[in-house]
Structure 1
């Protein structure tokens, strides 16, 4: 009875990362940092916030398209690679049947199966070519079948996350006329968002969330400070 109670109340705390989460992290991290640095750099050279808004929106549009396209190409590459390896595995099962069976047997041998169990497992798996190929793809090559819609989903998720992240540092420039005053507000808002973003990202990946949040915040601050300083030097002020 006690064992049953413990079993039902035991909760695994392992991270179950999703493709959506990965896309959001990629898009949001760049979306928060790059437009932030751009706006800071322009604030060091011009006082007109309307110019910064136009440049910022243009950058967000271009950046989201570029990031989304990168996600799409990555998804297509993953799918093309899987299909290529799948074709090779089917060919090898037909032309190198015994070699492929031995590879299955070696896998179970390394798991510590007895000779009898190895033979039974090989016989059972190799009855069905599709199941056999799927086994080889997963356990020999370490490849899981990708979602055929992964490329388009990734492009959308990354692009949208970039836009959402990019609008945060740019938003003060819509309401504050002086660029340096807008920059002060942008710095405060963006650094808080960077810390929160880094905190939850680190928490989900098992890293100390406070340290992770501070690292992300410092990276964003360093990029913006460098852009602002360079703009000041070039502008001669």
Structure 2
């Protein structure tokens, strides 16, 4: 009968060969780039880790021939990479490895000093923790991609919450679901304009600061790189504003569409569910990009969006009760 320790080793081995295969396939799509080289190095590191667990399993008299990578997980991550980008997808994988590293740490601490198994685990732990450092330069080079992803998420999130809150308040005093949808559309248009202007001004201020810093650095360089970099920075304000604008519109349409198709109360219920799911997903992506807890932030964002809609519905209901306001 297979021992408990050996069963754990097999799961660790499966995790490592899964990561190794994912990094290998991902690096193959980015050959000739620094990020592709970093991914290839990570694949080699994971191969060394898998060899460590393979030897541990074989020393207990078991074979690893029946253990295969989790190809379903690999396919899902490669698909998500097309949506989220390489950096966020890798961070998603790294975030999931935190619990594994904790188990490595606990197991290593249970072994006596000088034990070869403990020494090997200590090396693996150090290398797992240093994964982020391997990507540091690549993450900086893909800063624009990460910023664009965040602009999309923040714009969409604001559209979801603000328009749902408005629709909830209108639902308490307006009977016709189509009129409620029109009211939400007006709020969405106003919010889009407001968010676009705000995003432009915010990014413009940051861009101007970075341009000034780049001009200072150019005084000590004579390679002509400053002009091209400044030109790139100058275009970020308009790009950020446009990204936030269309993201806000998409987010606003999510709670509006049910009111175009369904009666008032069912439409509100469907909108609430759609917004809750969308908020959870969008904030999970933001948390991944910032290395934060996914579950906690997703739940908090979803709860706050529902509280906002409940509050505005209550205000609308109070207007209906005490001021006798009803629009048929």
One fold, TM greater than 0.5? Answer: yes
The 1:82/1:171 distance shift into structure 2, 3 A limit, reads same
Answer whether contact 2:211 2:233 (CA < 8 A) is retained: no
Give the total of aligned pairs: 187
**Structure 2 residue 174 is the aligned partner of structure 1 residue 46:** yes
Rounded Cα–Cα distance in structure 2 between residues aligned with 1:193 and 1:83? 36
Task: Give unpaired runs (5+ residues) of structure 1.
Answer: 94-125, 135-143
Match of 1:208 in 2: 293
Report the more deviating stretch, 28-37 or 17-26: 17-26
Instruction: Report Cα offsets for 1:54-74 as digits up to 9, x if no partner.
Output: 111111112112111212222
Match of 1:69 in 2: 197
Instruction: Report Cα offsets for 1:193-230 as digits up to 9, x if no partner.
Output: 21222223223322221212111100100100000011
**Structure 2 residue 234 is the aligned partner of structure 1 residue 148:** yes
Answer whether contact 1:71 1:155 (CA < 8 A) is retained: yes
- Compute the TM-score of the two structures, normalised by the length of structure 1: 0.68
Rounded Cα–Cα distance in structure 1 between residues aligned with 2:285 and 2:148? 15
The counterpart of 2:162, out of the listed 5, 12, 34, is 34
C-alpha displacement of 1:170: 1.2
The counterpart of 2:274, out of the listed 179, 183, 189, is 189
RMSD, matched Cα: 2.8
Answer whether contact 1:47 1:180 (CA < 8 A) is retained: no
The counterpart of 1:162, out of the listed 225, 248, 253, is 248
Residues 51-130 of structure 1: pairs in structure 2 closer than 5 A: 51-84=179-212, 126=220, 128=221
The 1:20/1:89 distance shift into structure 2, 3 A limit, reads closer
C-alpha displacement of 1:185: 1.3
Rounded Cα–Cα distance in structure 2 between residues aligned with 1:86 and 1:196? 36
Answer whether contact 2:155 2:195 (CA < 8 A) is retained: yes
Match of 2:44 in 1: 9
Task: Give unpaired runs (5+ residues) of structure 2.
Answer: 1-39, 47-130, 323-328
- Compute the TM-score of the two structures, normalised by the length of structure 2: 0.51
Match of 1:118 in 2: none
Answer whether contact 1:168 1:189 (CA < 8 A) is retained: yes
**Greater RCO, CA 8 A, separation 6+:** 1
Answer whether contact 1:44 1:180 (CA < 8 A) is retained: no
Rounded Cα–Cα distance in structure 2 between residues aligned with 1:40 and 1:85? 46
